Amino acid sequence: MPQSLVIGNWKMHGSRAANQALVAALQQCLPVNGVQVVLCPPMLHIADVAAQLEDSPVLVGAQNLCAEAQQAGAYTGEVSAAQLADYGVRYVLVGHSERRALYHDNDDRVAQKFLQAQQAGLVPVLCVGEQLAEREAGQALAVITAQLQAVADKAGMAAFAAAVIAYEPVWAIGTGQTASPEQAQAVHAHIRQWLAADSAALAQQVPLLYGGSVNAGNAASLFLMADIDGALVGGASLKADEFCAICNAALE
């Protein structure tokens, strides 16, 4: 099974001073070995956070990227995968539910971003998940399969060997609701089986993360599940003691 991975998504929070204090606090309590930790600050703060984490085992990620290559033309306001890599970014979120819902990143666009990330040497963190209405209609697994298949159609199944998949039920993001460990495990097992239909080795290689109101109180029970390899953490990643507790739970 892959090494435990915990990613902190700071979303549009923080200032230079606040981020510096948060990183300093995290460096005092994060585990050094046994779990890979990635921090995804707002785009504007990536350079500062990367500089502060230099020579640290904690890696820097980005929350988004342009779906087009830097050489493809003028895309005002966008940031390319190559530019992120130039600043030391190693991971990048693609298909986060807020990007899908608020900025209309459909499955095809998400797949294009996935491809751009890999072509620049970044590790895409592919976010998949269902709306509440889709879950209640019994369509959750079909929705997630379609999101995965869109990437496979564009990038090929082998591309998942250099990627991460994060299951984030949209109804549990920022709501305080969390999928039960059993609900999360059922979806993770489905994703693992989908990968295994192509390659058993691939299925065991790809880290599968859970994201959806993960906190220090529920992390351990989620990590006990057989197919949950870590977490994509939102609001709790802005609190050093809570995020460190989540990362330490991933070690157990």
Distance from C-alpha of 30 to C-alpha of 9, rounded to nearest angstrom: 16
DSSP 171-206: GGSSSS----HHHHHHHHHHHHHHHHTT-HHHHHHS
Q: What residue has token string 């691939």?
A: 202
Distance from C-alpha of 52 to C-alpha of 77, rounded to nearest angstrom: 25
Catalytic sites, residue numbers: 96, 168
CB 144 within 8 A of CB 187: yes
Distance from C-alpha of 175 to C-alpha of 212, rounded to nearest angstrom: 8
CB 185 within 8 A of CB 220: no
CB 37 within 8 A of CB 58: yes
Query: DSSP alpha helices (H): ranges in 120-161?
Result: 132-136, 140-155
